[in-house]
Structure 1
Amino acid sequence: MTVSNDPPEDFERPLAGLKVLELSQIMAGPVCGVLLSDMGADVIKVERFPGGDDARGYQRPGDPGLSPAFTMINRGKRSVALDIRTPEGREALLRLVAQVDVVTENFRVGTMERLGLGHEVLMQANPRLIYAAISGYGRVGPLAQQGGFDLILQAFSGLISVTGEEGRAGVKPGISVADVNAGILAALGVLAAYIRRLRTGRGGRVDTSLLQACLQQTYWFAAAYFSKGIVAKPMGTAHPLIAPYQTFACADGAIAIGGGNQANWLRIAATLGHSEWADDPRFTTGASRLGHRRELEALMTAVLCTNTVAHWTAALATAGVPVGPVQDVGQALSHPQTRAVGMVIDNPDPRTGLDKAVGCPVHFDGHSPTRTGPAPLVGEHTQQVLREFGFDEEALRRLAEAGAIPPPRHATEPA
């Protein structure tokens, strides 16, 4: 059984009818946008003209056409190319704002105000508007005006200091923790504000930042610091509170074993053929195992190295122990379980050379709401969207003459 990525005709995405203007670029804001889009919102990506989203240039040597990285989090959106630095572009944006439900942006704090398009101005144009902003350090405080990227805030927040091998300098987590989590938090904030608007009729401002998105990941590290003054250090794959709870070498690879409670620990000891470990004073309780983690790791590794990942994964899983192989990204994306839960979808996009995409991680009524379709070219839908919002041909001509939008003959859609 798999999650359906082709829902029935009567399936309605929860946010159907919601209109979102995405002024955001690169990653954090667009992650928010792709989640809202998958859940049914019409996400209109307002990109600077000329140029577009900076992430369009994030390509590896040999990538064809559109950047695959850009495509992955902008599929199914529409693009309007608009120079909001011009008076005509600002006026056009305000006209769009008056007719939408949500605006997202991830500019440096103060940028929108300098453009004459700050929160107060947009709320005057549309009092029911939900304005969602993602910044580097937050909109208040001594560092509010500083710009921030994922790497910078992972460093500032302490995430890098707790990641890596024990006894060595910290390293950056391989994923964009700050960007992705900030996008998720922004989407959560938008949904909460939308529920409030349904109840009260009022719009409002939603703020989060890369700093907040990183610090939210430190719950247990913060607990250790606030309670005991413990400053966490890298522990490899080990856990600061549980043992055994880490990866272990086998004869042909590595597996992750989760001895998250006493029952699982007893199952692990029995499955590895050493039930006597359960009575060893070093390992009888969770606290004692944590205190003797290195000794326990050495004993377990000596046994696990005698057989394969497949053997131990099967044996431990049969015993009821949480266990899984350490896979690379390709193996994870190719695994049938990944396809079963709808996280890899078929989405041919000849402009990028991609035929698959990462799906929506939230399902409704047994169906994935993932919105398929290509990522837009810069300004691909400018004429179409502006007409939908009531701009007549004369207004479009004036905008093009002012350099606020691409002229129709240069647009990537039919004029």
Structure 2
Amino acid sequence: MLQFMTIGILYNISPRTKYLAPGLDLSADSDIEATVRAVKAVFEKDNQVILIQISDHTYDWLRRKKPDVLFNICEGFGGDNRGEIYVAALLEQAGIPFTGSDFFTLALCMDKERTKEILSFNGVPTPKFQVFVTAGDPLDGRLRFPLIVKPAREDASLGIGPDSVVYDENALRKKAGSIIETFGQPAMAEEYVDGRELNISVIGNGEGAEVLPVSEIIFDIPPDRPKIVDYDAKWVKDSPMYTGTSGVCPAGLEESLLRKVGDTALKAYRVMGVRDYGRVDIRLKGDVPYVIEVNPNPGKYVDTGFIRSARAAGYSFEEICRKILNLTLERSGLPALSAGTAASAAAPAEEHTVGTDRVFAVRAGGEHV
């Protein structure tokens, strides 16, 4: 086992504004700094930790300094959440192992149309859908209302609100047109599955991947709001949707349904090429688990669904972070991280400023200044 490593924690702090209309409030990055502090606390006991805020200069810095491994919690770059894809490609070019999926998988899963095509081809149930490049595109007569309309290439419930579930063609075209204009990308309409909402977190690689306890979203929301996890439900903490969509883990499912849901999530995870960790979101109607999204980069904030499921499986926050990093080291052919005892020696604390980067090398017990 390695007794000492240099671990970079790569993160972004940037408003996601590139494709959004003026005045549209976003807070999807609001918990990143707290997550950085929590992850730093996990590894700084026995390793040198470098906090790296992504910028235009990060690639050159990484090529020079070559940390042993990167714990990647970047969810965007340059005001564009698709930047998480570009960051992963940059890290691959830098030749430094990093946690989570590669750029190809991140790009595939960001593209909801391609994701659903791959799932369907591989026999994974997913709702029927249509992509609208313009609001006037002919409607596929095989689709049945109600439909849910969302941006085709976004995550974090961006663009999803109380008007996203539509019951007729006029409402569909109005919502599709709004998404196309606001986000500068196609809109996707899929059949709305009125069923139980399940989040299935998965950890591991290949045949070794395992399903963590299933989490269910319990809806206690105003009667005029559709039962969906929209933007307010995810990010606006003082809203009725946020307070009325609590997660319960483990979900109250009978054993046969748990197996079916878990098998479906594992198949989706594998066919999409997710590695190390991820989350599969499912709508369960009757005994059919419909995959609505595969998320290869779920939030690792201390109160998110992924962490909730990990805790239900018996992992502490520290243990799940170390497990993720060790999965990365294992597939990269590197020795596992030490178990968390204090290091016998540590490099002196350093501070680096690279352009707009704030990069800090922190020895055991050090502070982020």
Q: Same fold (TM over 0.5)?
A: no
Larger gyration radius, structure 1 or structure 2? 1
What is the TM-score when the length of structure 2 is the normalising length? 0.31
What is the TM-score when the length of structure 1 is the normalising length? 0.29
**More strand, by proportion:** 2
